[in-house]
Structure 1
């Protein structure tokens, strides 16, 4: 007898959970959302939901702003550049480790 498959929801965090996990006030998290620095989704009732990576992203934004005195526009650029570096480094590792998936386009 087979059982019906239940939908699997991705793990998600609410505003309070992100604020506590990142060590900042919820209003600061909301400001980062309004500035487009932290992605969110909304459910049917309009409640904000965050990915599990959001607390680390919030901590990174706070560090860049405080330690390097960057404005939030510069913080967005730095975060984008760091993400691109991560992609390039993982690609380089694939190539040098011989695990490259050779797909010609």
Structure 2
């Protein structure tokens, strides 16, 4: 039986590619494609990629963009970048409104 090592970073449980694949119901090779396109980033890259649980939400967004809108991975990247920018601008706007 293989011994499982639990790794935590900033009080977060990290998931291996295989564990993440089971959680989101995707083959680890598809998750590697997501990494190649820059859609998801591991918390730790070496010796093997380990992911924070927060990446699950991002993968669910990718799955919706691909399934509901039929976007390819490059299109998903563009939409996710725009959503991240909108979120940052909304955060800044809330901060600035708090100063007034």
TMscore range, shorter length: 0.7 to 0.9
Rounded to whole Å, the distance in 2 between the matches of 1:55 and 1:65 is: 15
Which of 23, 38, 41 is matched with 1:39 structurally? Answer: 41
* Number of residue equivalences: 90
Gaps of 5+ in 1: 1-7, 101-105
- SS of residue in 1 equivalent to 2:9: coil
- State TM-score, norm by structure 2: 0.75
Q: Which has the larger radius of gyration?
A: 1
Q: Which 4+ runs in 1 deviate beyond 3 A? A: none
Rounded to whole Å, the distance in 2 between the matches of 1:93 and 1:71 is: 33
Higher helix share: 2
1:19/1:55 contact within 8 Å kept: no
- State TM-score, norm by structure 1: 0.72
Higher strand share: 2
